Amino acid sequence: KVCTLLKLLKMSSKDYVQTFGRKKNAVAVATVRKGRGLLRVNGAPLEILEPAVLRIKVWEPVLVLGAQRFQEVDIRVRVKGGGSTSQIYAIRQAIAKGIVAYYQKNVDEEQKKEVKELLMAYDRNLLVADPRRCEPKKFGGPSARARVQKSYR
Residue 7 has pLDDT above 60, yes or no: no
Q: What's the pLDDT at 15? A: 85
Q: What's the pLDDT at 134? A: 87
Mean pLDDT, rounded, for 10-32: 86
- pLDDT digit string, tens, across residues 30-78: 999 999 989 999 999 989 998 889 999 999 999 999 989 899 899 999 9
Residue 9 has pLDDT above 80, yes or no: no
CB 30 within 8 A of CB 21: yes
CB 74 within 8 A of CB 38: yes
CA distance 135 to 23: 14
Quickly list DSSP for the chain.
-HHHHHHHHHHHT--EEEEEEEETTEEEEEEEEESSS-EEETTEEGGG-SSGGGHHHHHHHHHHH-GGGGTTEEEEEEEESS-HHHHHHHHHHHHHHHHHHHHHHHS-HHHHHHHHHHHHHH-GGGTS-----PPPP-TTSSSSS--PPP---
CB 32 within 8 A of CB 101: yes
- pLDDT digit string, tens, across residues 65-123: 998 989 989 999 999 999 999 999 999 999 999 999 999 998 889 999 999 999 999 99
> 115: which residues sit within 8 A by CB, 6+ positions away?
65, 69, 99, 100, 103
Q: What's the pLDDT at 4? A: 61
With bands split at pLDDT 50, 70 and 90, how would you rate the model's confidence at 8? low
CB 111 within 8 A of CB 119: no
Task: Read off the pTM.
Answer: 0.85
